[in-house]
Chains A and B, each alone.
Chain A
Amino acid sequence: MKYLPFIFRNLFRKKTRTILTIGSIAVALFLYGLLVTIETALNAGVDVAGVDRLIVRNKISLIMPLPFSYQERLRQIDHVSEATFATWFGAIYQEPKNFFPQFAIDTDSYRRLYPEFQIPDDQWQAFLADREGAVVGRLTADRFEWEVGDRIPLQASIWGGTWEFNIRAIYEGSRAGDDESLFWFHWKYLEERRPWGKGSVGWYTVKVDDPEHSVAVSEAIDRSFANSPYETSTETEQAFAAGFAKQIGNIRMLIMSIGAVVLFTLLLVTGNTMAMAVRERVPELGVLKTLGFKDTTVLFLVLAESLLIAFVGGVLGVGLAKFFTMGGDPTGGMLPVFYLSTAEMISGIAIALFVGLAAGSIPALTAMNLRIVDALRRV
């Protein structure tokens, strides 16, 4: 601690250079924060997917339907404790940019399979009682300033026409990462109004009594519908979500590549700053050693400077990223789970500190190994 004022003084010896270096680190960490947030958003479903839930879809493609009659057959399969279904609605609210996912759900069973979505009981009862009722996630409700009781029109792009719904409930996720952008309404309402596709659903979600039975149950489901007009493909919700994310491409690899390039550049920038700082200060380092400062103390002083620059830049960058992501999804619904977690913030600062350590290590070792007589000769 007693060296701290000395370290600070040295840090602001060249104010512009230090501020620019801190700025570079802050920008890089800001970028890191955004990349991680996007990556988290793209994999949000994977991270929070239930381990005891299976998704049963049409073997040909997710967009192909399955018969409504499968629900009872699924319930009969061993180790299946419940089966529910949903159908993609794909409507537009006012204009195409106002995207949010809408599902027609089986109101009798859906809530039992997704207990992570918190809905006040009175609101849920009001939803059940209203055939045109809808449940909307907090994110979407806030986005369009909807409140319980509002009547909203949606343009159905698949089924055609304007469909009106009454917002009867607003749900909230119980975990960070739960998708709060969804819009649910009665499958029976869809069934009544749609001109075609009656008696079909988009996909089923099946709850198994024990996650250890997931593989066996998946195989049993697909086997029982084999050689039928509607063969199924069953996988865990996690695998389903991961596959869905992969459709966009290997985003993780892309993001990691960009991140690695940014951090490597950062390493060079910070390393150069520290190398210059040490080069300019060779005689002073010689004086410090002459006064009795040990080689390791000199090493510590240079490393501490580098770490301090990295820490300040890191905190600034990650803080800015947090501030930016607090505004929520900037894409208008494409990335509903858009947040920077505390763990990722800590990781970001740890990365900054690692950069500081790596960038400062060579100059610090140079300073440590400096011979006093050589250093003083440069006065």
Chain B
Amino acid sequence: MVSIDGKEHGDSLIRVRNLNKIYRRGGETIEVLQGLNLDVEKGEFVAFMGPSGSGKTTLLNLLGGLDTPTSGTVTVDGDEITNMSGRHLATWRARHVGFIFQMYNLIPVLTAFQNVELPLLLTKLSKAQRRKHVETALGLVGLTDRMKHYPRQLSGGQEQRVAIARAIVTDPTFLLCDEPTGDLDRKVAEEILDLLTELESEHGKTILMVTHDPLAAKRADVVLHLDKGALIESAEEAAAS
């Protein structure tokens, strides 16, 4: 079960405690996240919603070890990532996190195959093993026939599928999706969401997704709202606050 009360849950995969993030721009101080707590169990699909500037992407960055909090802790599968050095954090990200971005963020000079292979270059797998993994990942997203295509030769939906394949190819502990359907039309967005749901239900992936789209959020097991730097469980509560 997802919980935001900060009470101890022995079986949490992701545990966030008292997380604060403060930005200072010039003389101004912006408190983006204020004492945020979160517990997510393995295999859950959580959606974060909230208005622009509410701190959704900041939270995702902190959960993925892309940024460091002002205070508080993030613990994933027993590892407290907020204490890790940049070097260890990079290794940890490679092993535990799969990232899916709104703009796909594929490397344009690499083919679909090579883009998916990128995270595997950081492992000790042989070339043949890497090929097998890449083919499996591309097979899961239904793009085995587009392996040699460059991103410019793919549609937006196909590009996002390649990005998903890249995110899952190392079999990470959890997936972080930042507006994964934000740049896609409804039909393609539904296909991508079907894929994410399938990854959760059939492959047991833990997924944390930031979205503006209520229809996308509906696919998640739990929808959490970010408001004034804190998490609340329902839109009504968010509106009331």
- Please list the residues of chain A having a beta carbon within 8 angstroms of any beta carbon in chain B: 2-3, 5-6, 9-10, 12-13, 283-284, 287-297, 372-373, 376, 379
In the assembled complex, 7 residue pairs joining A and B whose CB atoms fall closer than 8 Å, in A order, are A3-B121, A6-B110, A9-B114, A295-B86, A372-B67, A376-B101, A379-B101
B99 proximal to A (CB < 8 A): yes
Residue in chain B with minimal CB distance to A375: B66
B87 proximal to A (CB < 8 A): yes
Alpha-carbon separation in the docked complex, A173 to B104 (Å): 67
Residue in chain B with minimal CB distance to A294: B90
Q: Cβ of A13 and Cβ of B121 under 8 Å apart?
A: no
Of the residues A6, A290, A294, A296, contact of B99 by C-beta under 8 Å: A290
Alpha-carbon separation in the docked complex, A13 to B110 (Å): 10
Q: Cβ of A291 and Cβ of B118 under 8 Å apart?
A: yes
User: Main SS of the interface on chain B?
Assistant: helix
Residue in chain A with minimal CB distance to B88: A294
Of the residues B64, B87, B92, B110, contact of A290 by C-beta under 8 Å: B64
Of the residues A2, A3, A289, A376, contact of B90 by C-beta under 8 Å: A289
Q: If the complex has contacts A5-B114, A6-B110, A291-B94, are A379 and B61 also in contact, measured as CB distance less than 8 A? A: no
Residue in chain A with minimal CB distance to B130: A2
Alpha-carbon separation in the docked complex, A283 to B104 (Å): 11
Q: Cβ of A291 and Cβ of B93 under 8 Å apart?
A: yes
Q: If the complex has contacts A292-B94, A372-B66, A373-B61, are A13 and B118 also in contact, measured as CB distance less than 8 A? A: no
Of the residues B67, B95, B105, B166, contact of A373 by C-beta under 8 Å: B67
Kindly state the interface size class of chain B when it binds its partner.
Answer: 20 to 34
Alpha-carbon separation in the docked complex, A193 to B166 (Å): 92
Residue in chain A with minimal CB distance to B94: A292
Listed from nearest, the 6 A-B pairs whose CB atoms lie closest are A292-B94, A9-B109, A292-B93, A294-B90, A372-B66, A287-B105
B235 proximal to A (CB < 8 A): no
Closest CB in chain B relative to A166 CB, distance in Å: 69
Closest CB in chain A relative to B214 CB, distance in Å: 24
Residue in chain A with minimal CB distance to B125: A2
Q: Cβ of B103 and Cβ of A292 under 8 Å apart?
A: no
Q: If the complex has contacts A372-B67, A379-B101, A379-B103, are A292 and B91 also in contact, measured as CB distance less than 8 A? A: yes
Chain B residues in 8 Å Cβ range of A372? 61, 66-67
Closest CB in chain B relative to A186 CB, distance in Å: 72
Interface of chain B residues 72 through 126 with chain A (CB within 8 A)? 86-87, 90-95, 99, 101, 103, 105, 107-110, 114, 118-119, 121-122
Closest CB in chain B relative to A365 CB, distance in Å: 15
Contact mask for chain B residues 203-225; partner A; CB cutoff 8 A; 1 contact, 0 none: 00000000000000000000000
Contact mask for chain B residues 56-70; partner A; CB cutoff 8 A; 1 contact, 0 none: 000001001011000
Closest CB in chain B relative to A19 CB, distance in Å: 16
Chain B residues in 8 Å Cβ range of A379? 101, 103, 105
Chain A residues in 8 Å Cβ range of B86? 295
Q: Cβ of A9 and Cβ of B110 under 8 Å apart?
A: yes
Closest CB in chain A relative to B80 CB, distance in Å: 18
Contact mask for chain B residues 9-45; partner A; CB cutoff 8 A; 1 contact, 0 none: 0000000000000000000000000000000000000
Chain B residues in 8 Å Cβ range of A3? 121
Q: Cβ of B109 and Cβ of A13 under 8 Å apart?
A: yes
Contact mask for chain B residues 154-179; partner A; CB cutoff 8 A; 1 contact, 0 none: 00000000000010000000000000
Alpha-carbon separation in the docked complex, A83 to B61 (Å): 87
Residue in chain B with minimal CB distance to A377: B57
Q: Cβ of B99 and Cβ of A291 under 8 Å apart?
A: yes
Alpha-carbon separation in the docked complex, A255 to B88 (Å): 50
Chain A residues in 8 Å Cβ range of B119? 291-292
Q: If the complex has contacts A372-B67, A373-B61, A379-B101, are A290 and B93 also in contact, measured as CB distance less than 8 A? A: yes
Chain B residues in 8 Å Cβ range of A373? 61, 66-67
Chain B residues in 8 Å Cβ range of A289? 90
Residue in chain B with minimal CB distance to A371: B67
Q: Cβ of A10 and Cβ of B109 under 8 Å apart?
A: yes
Residue in chain A with minimal CB distance to B120: A2
Residue in chain B with minimal CB distance to A11: B109
Q: Cβ of A6 and Cβ of B122 under 8 Å apart?
A: no
User: In the complex, which of the residues A3, A6, A13, A296 has the most CB atoms of chain B within 10 Å of its own CB atom?
Assistant: A6
Chain B residues in 8 Å Cβ range of A13? 108-109
Chain B residues in 8 Å Cβ range of A6? 110, 114, 118, 121
Residue in chain B with minimal CB distance to A298: B90
Q: Cβ of A293 and Cβ of B90 under 8 Å apart?
A: yes
Alpha-carbon separation in the docked complex, A296 to B85 (Å): 13
Chain A residues in 8 Å Cβ range of B90? 289, 292-295
Q: If the complex has contacts A5-B114, A6-B114, are A293 and B107 also in contact, measured as CB distance less than 8 A? A: no
Alpha-carbon separation in the docked complex, A10 to B86 (Å): 25
Residue in chain B with minimal CB distance to A3: B121
Q: Cβ of A293 and Cβ of B122 under 8 Å apart?
A: yes
Alpha-carbon separation in the docked complex, A287 to B102 (Å): 13
Instruction: Kindly list 7 other residue pairs between chains A and B, CB separation below 8 angstroms, not including A2-B121, A12-B109, A295-B90.
Output: A2-B127, A9-B110, A291-B99, A292-B90, A372-B61, A373-B61, A379-B103
Residue in chain B with minimal CB distance to A291: B119
Closest CB in chain A relative to B62 CB, distance in Å: 10
Closest CB in chain A relative to B70 CB, distance in Å: 14
Chain B residues in 8 Å Cβ range of A293? 90, 94, 122
Alpha-carbon separation in the docked complex, A291 to B100 (Å): 10
Closest CB in chain A relative to B84 CB, distance in Å: 13
Chain B residues in 8 Å Cβ range of A297? 122
